[in-house]
A and B are shown apart, each in its own frame.
Chain A
Amino acid sequence: MTPLIELDGVTKTLKGQQEPRTILSGVDLTVQAGQSVAVLGRSGSGKSTLLSIVGLFDRPDGGAYRIDGQDISRIPERKAAALRSAEFGFVFQRFFLLKHLSAAQNVAMALVNGQGWLPRRQRRAKVMAALEQVGIAHLAKHRPAKLSGGEQQRVAVARALVRQPRILLADEPTGALDTETGNLVIDVLHEATRQGRALILVTHDWDHARKMGRVLRLEDGTLHDVDEYEHAPAEVAA
Chain B
Amino acid sequence: MIRLSGRLRSALIIGGQGIRARKTRTLLSIVSLFLGVLAVVVVQAGAEAANQAALADIELQVGKDGTRMMYVSPEKAGAMAAALETLKGRSDAVGVIGTSATIGEPGVNPVNPGGAPFDRQAGGPDYYYGGGPGAEMICDERGCRPVDKAQQAEQTPNGQAIELRLSALTGDVLPFRPYRMKSGRWLDFTKVPSLSPGIVVNLEAAKGFARYQVPAEMRIYGVSTNATPRIIGVVDDGVPMPTAYTRVDELLNWVPASSLDMMGGVETLLAPDAYAVEQTLRARLVGLGVPAEQLRADPVNARKAIEEQLRLVRLVFLGIAGLVLLIGVAGILNVGLATVGERVEEFALRRAVGTPRTLLAGIVLAETLLTGLFTAAAAIGVASLALKVVGSILSGRTPIPLDMEFPWQAGVAGIVAGLVAGLLGGLIPAIRAARIPIATVMRA
Interface residues of A (CB under 8 A from B): 48-49, 52, 55, 57-58, 77-78, 81-86, 90, 92-94, 96, 98, 100-101, 105, 109-110, 112-117, 159, 171-172, 175
Contact = CB atoms under 8 A, between A and B. Distances in A.
B353 A113 contact: yes
Given A52-B438, A52-B442, A116 B357 contact: no
A57 to B, nearest CB: 4
Contacts, number: 98
B443 A110 contact: no
Interface string B13-46: 1100100110000000000000000000000000
A94 B9 contact: no
A55 B352 contact: yes
B137 interface: no
Contacts of A175: 444
27 contacts: A48-B439, A49-B439, A49-B443, A52-B438, A57-B352, A57-B437, A57-B439, A58-B438, A58-B439, A77-B357, A78-B358, A85-B355, A98-B17, A98-B349, A100-B20, A100-B21, A109-B349, A110-B354, A112-B10, A113-B350, A114-B10, A116-B6, A117-B5, A117-B9, A117-B10, A171-B442, A175-B444
Top 8 A-B pairs ranked by shortest CB distance? A85-B354, A117-B6, A93-B444, A100-B21, A52-B439, A57-B438, A113-B355, A57-B439
Nearest to A80: B354
Contacts of B393: none
Given A52-B438, A100-B21, 19 more contacts: A49-B439, A49-B443, A57-B352, A57-B439, A58-B437, A58-B439, A77-B357, A81-B351, A84-B351, A85-B354, A92-B444, A96-B345, A112-B13, A114-B6, A114-B354, A116-B2, A116-B6, A117-B9, A159-B353
Contacts of A83: 354
A78 B229 CA distance: 88
Interface of B: 2-3, 5-7, 9-11, 13-14, 17, 20-21, 345-346, 349-359, 437-439, 442-444
B353 A85 contact: yes
B353 A90 contact: yes
Nearest to A156: B349
Chain A, interface SS category? loop
Nearest to B5: A117
Nearest to B355: A113
A84 B352 contact: yes
Contacts of B17: 98, 100-101, 105
Nearest to B438: A57
Nearest to A108: B13
B444 A114 contact: no
Contacts of A52: 438-439, 442-443
A82 B354 contact: yes
A49 B443 CA distance: 8
